[in-house]
Amino acid sequence: MFEKFKEWFINTTNSTKRPILDFTRRIVMISGHQYMVRMVKEQDIQTLVEIEERIYGKAPWSYAAFRIELQRPCDRLYLVVEDDQQIVGFMGTAIDWYHYDLHITNIGITPSYQNKGIGTYLISTAKNYARHLKLHSLSLEVRVHNVSARRLYESLGFRNQHIKSRYYLDNHEDAVDMQANLLR
C-alpha cells in the first residue's frame, strides 16, 4: 500500500515541476511515402476515436478519455501521422518518472494504412524520445490474441513481462505486458 502511495505521490508532485513535453512537427519518409508527424491537437480527438472504431468496431477510448490525456502535457505525448492532411495513425505515451519508463498508452493505424511501416515508425520514435529523456524502458500492453501486433513488438525489442488477467473492459481479454529495455 505504501509503495503505491509513494509512486502516486512522486508522479504527482514531480509532474508539476517537469517541462511540457514537446515534439517538432516533421515530414518523414516511411516505406517510400511522405507523411507529416506532429503533436495531437484537441480538434483531432474525434478523428482518433473514429480510427479506433475502424480498427476495433467500438472505440476502446472515449472522446473524454483522450481529452483528459491531452490535458497532461508534462507527462503525456500524443502524435499523429498525416497523409495529405488526413490523420492515418496515432500514438499516445505516458511517462512514469518513478520507474523511468515511457508507456505507450494507445496506438492505432487506419486499417488501409496498416502494414506500411507507420506503427514501426511511431514505436521507434517513442524509443528515441524515451532515450532523449534518459528513461530506461518503453512498455505497452497488447491483447493476448493479437498475435501480429505481438510479433511486431517482439521484432522491435519488446519482451513479455507478465499477463494482466481480464485487462480489457470490452471482452475481459487478458493483456500481455511487454517492455523494451533501453539501457542496452
Domain count of the fold of the chain: 1
* Tally of CA atoms within 13 A in the half-sphere of 178 that contains its CB: 24
pTM for this one?
0.86
The predicted-structure confidence for 149-181, as pLDDT tens digits, reads as follows 999 999 999 999 999 998 887 778 899 999 999
Domain that holds residue 20: 2-181
Closest listed residue to residue 156, CA positions, set 114, 123, 129, 183? 123
State the Cα–Cα distance between residues 121 and 181, nearest whole angstrom.
Answer: 18
CATH label of the domain that carries residue 140: 3.40.630.30
pLDDT at residue 9, rounded to an integer: 54
Cell numbers 509532474 correspond to what residue?
15
Across the range 101-119, mean pLDDT stands at 97
